[in-house]
Amino acid sequence: MEVHGLIHQFPKEVKSVIIAFLLVLSVGFYGGLGFVNNTTSMQASGIATHYLGNEEIEDAEIMKFKKSEREILTIVHNHILSMSVIFFLLSLILATTSINKKLKYFLMIEPFISIILTFGGIYLLWSGILWFRFIIIFSGVLMTLSFIIATFSIFYQILFSKSNS
């Protein structure tokens, strides 16, 4: 993929809006991770409990009930749509960097696979395929690492690469 305008050559105003966008996007992304940590403790058992409930445990500290079909479909639908837009925009910006082409391609495509595995996996877990919680963790970690590396690469290119113009 050949992009003719590299990010470090963009006008200062465009670089500023990209930085502002990435900062706000990162606050939202990491806030979402905080929510996931709060609701699942970032554990396979926590993921299962969050979506499948724990009403069979009489002395549970916090009683949770299995999500309804409407709730699970809303969660999956909203996350697939919003995360697709987030990673599409991030990929467009990343395309303008001069990082390694294979790494760039991986960071641009991988999140879309992880979105389907993570949120499709949540639906499959809810449907009773319990081992899918491990796929959810793996794909969620991969998606998060892709986000971190992509945003770091963009920030680095904007802030530290020399403009040729």
- Contact between 52 and 126 (Cβ < 8 Å): yes
CA distance 158 to 165: 14
> Is the separation of the CB atoms in 22 and 155 below 8 Å?
yes
Q: Where are the domains of the chain?
A: 8-160
Cα–Cα distances (Å) from 88 to 46, 110, 126, 127, in that order, read 29, 11, 27, 29
68-89 pLDDT per residue, tens: 999 999 999 999 999 999 999 9
pLDDT value, residue 78: 98
Task: Render pLDDT for 1-27 as a digit per residue (tens, 0 to 9).
Answer: 444 579 999 999 999 999 999 999 999
Q: Give per-residue pLDDT as tens, 26-71.
A: 999 999 999 999 999 999 999 999 999 998 888 888 889 999 999 9
Q: What are phi and psi of 73, to 5 degrees?
A: -65, -35
Q: CB count, 10 Å around CB of 52?
A: 18
**Between the CA of residue 74 and those of 14, 32, 58, 114, what are the distances in Å?**
35, 16, 29, 18
Cα–Cα distance for residue pair 152/158, rounded to 1 Å: 10
* Residue 5 CB contacts under 8 Å (≥ 6 apart), including other chains: 96
Q: How many helices (H) and strands (E) does the chain have?
A: 5, 0
